[in-house]
Amino acid sequence: MANMLKTTVMLPEDTLQLAKITAVQEKTSLSRIFQEALDMRIRGKVLAANPDPMKTLGKFKLGLGKLYQNRADLYGKRTSRKMGI
The pLDDT tens digits for 43-60 are 776 555 555 655 655 555
What global pTM score does this model have? Answer: 0.49
Closest CA to 55 of 42, 69, 41: 69
Nearest Cα neighbor of 35 from 53, 17, 48, 22 is 22
61-79 pLDDT per residue, tens: 555 566 666 777 767 777 7
First to last CA, the chain: 47
Q: Are 39 and 31 contacting, i.e. CB atoms less than 8 angstroms apart?
A: no
